[in-house]
Amino acid sequence: MSESLPARAQYRPALTAALDAALAFLHGLPTRPAGVVDSGEVPAPPEGIGAEAALEHFRRHYEPRLSGSAGPRYFGFVTGGATPAALAGDWLASAYDQNVSNTIGSAAAALEQATTSAYARLFGLGEEFAGYFVSGATQSNTVALATARQWLYAQRGHDVAEQGLAGAPRLRVLGGAPHSSILKAAAILGIGRRHVEVLRCLPGRTAVDPDALAERLADGGERPTLVVASAGEVNTGDFDDIAALAALCRRHDAWLHVDGAFGLFAALDAAQAGRLAGLALADSVTVDLHKWLNVPYDSALVYTRHPSLQRQVFRASAAYLGDTPDPLHYTPENSRRFRALPAWFALAAYGRKGIGEVVRRNCALARRLGEGLAALPAIEVLDEVRLNIVCFALREGDAAARDRFLERLLADGRAFMTPTVYTGRPAVRAAIANWSTTEADIDLTLQAVRAALAAA
């Protein structure tokens, strides 16, 4: 039997070697560079060398150049790692390899529904919200906006899923600081990026001014409108006043979508949960699980209180599929992986208490980082540290100086952060969402920042 042909007997050596590689990587995360400078391609491997040799080739040529993004000092974007239970669930999801497109012949879809319900309760969403697993918050926002579009047109006697957009009035999307994925969703759905209208925010904040929304809603005439609220704005972790926005949406027959990709986890911290007041009044809600829950990519949830409209958009009609409650009628995919299993494991293993503890710890660490940065004369912290994000700028210098600072930080390797622009100013943001980050990691990060500043 050739090594290069699959055989059942190869599972054990292949998976044992993969386990060894994974453990070496995971235990090395605290000391691995947070980001790498050299990320180029290497020549393709020879073919047909067998699973173990393929793994060896990969470990030689690529693994040393992978980032430590799953580790404790990667603060770019909003990035979580993977807890032990979540990773075990993820591996098993691949081993079980269930197609959760349907409910026939497997309990996998039942586990998914039980999991989306359990997370709804965790976030304070009632039973009127139906949830589905999708690959990320971008996809979740897209599904939510597609359902909103169906609802807005249905109110005007137009079934856009059946009839298409021709002849339908233009939609508009209103928000104070919508995430870029909202623009992407608008492009995908034929709403158009240009019809995402960014409204005035409260002074010094990235939360929308409810008066600005009230004015825009009042002067929109009959224009069908979708309002996107941020629950955790990506630059500073700011929150829109969801209850105020919900009241305005009710009055003007607008749909309210809440993008809580990471901020929905504020529900798990008693000191932060008030920021989500009014959440249950939303029409749809997005939350990422591969960020703050620390399950591996790719995992997010979309919730809506209008699943029948969601089904009108996403239903897959074919004689052999039937009229069933199958997930494939509610999401962009037909075939879907057993994505719920890592999230199910995370909740079963750690519970509300353990998941909430990570949230509270990360928020405390963000405050510690903010205080440490504010004590450096060269740095100005640009906003109050609200949740788990610190947004700061160099007191001197332009965007190029900021970029050189970030390049030195990347080369140093002890911490990773990403650039942004905050109220017109070139800035840096650090988001803390990894379960394993400690106070010692924050202190190491501050050392790395000081070194990157000194090298200027």
Ligand X SMILES: *Cc1c(COP(=O)(O)O)cnc(C)c1O
Binding stretches for ligand X (CB under 6 A): 78, 136-138, 179, 181, 232, 234, 259, 261-262, 288, 300
CA-closest candidate to residue 420, choices 78, 171, 188: 78
10 Å CB burial of residue 206 (0-12, 13-18, 19+) is buried
Q: Of 234 and 268, which CB lies nearer to ligand X in the complex structure?
A: 234
Q: Of 29 and 301, which CB lies nearer to ligand X in the complex structure?
A: 301
Token code pair at residue 3: 């090594």
Q: Are strands 300-304 and 389-394 parallel, antiparallel or unpaired?
A: unpaired
Minimum distance, C-beta of residue 182 to ligand X, in the bound complex (Å): 8
Minimum distance, C-beta of residue 175 to ligand X, in the bound complex (Å): 11
Minimum distance, C-beta of residue 300 to ligand X, in the bound complex (Å): 6
Minimum distance, C-beta of residue 411 to ligand X, in the bound complex (Å): 26
Q: Of 25 and 77, which CB lies nearer to ligand X in the complex structure?
A: 77
Q: Of 199 and 261, which CB lies nearer to ligand X in the complex structure?
A: 261
Minimum distance, C-beta of residue 136 to ligand X, in the bound complex (Å): 3
Q: Of 145 and 410, which CB lies nearer to ligand X in the complex structure?
A: 145
CA-closest candidate to residue 112, choices 338, 388, 449, 407: 338
Q: Of 291 and 414, which CB lies nearer to ligand X in the complex structure?
A: 291
The sign of the CA dihedral 29, 30, 35, 36 is negative
10 Å CB burial of residue 95 (0-12, 13-18, 19+) is exposed
Minimum distance, C-beta of residue 260 to ligand X, in the bound complex (Å): 7
Token code pair at residue 435: 């379960």
Residue 132 near residue 330 (C-beta atoms within 8 A): yes
Residues near 202 by beta carbon (within 8 Å), at least 6 away in sequence: 208, 209
32 — phi, psi (to 5°)?
-75, 145
Q: How far from chain centre, in Å, is Cα 60? A: 31
Q: Of 292 and 314, which CB lies nearer to ligand X in the complex structure?
A: 292
| Measured distance CA(134)–CA(145) in Å, rounded | 14
Minimum distance, C-beta of residue 130 to ligand X, in the bound complex (Å): 20
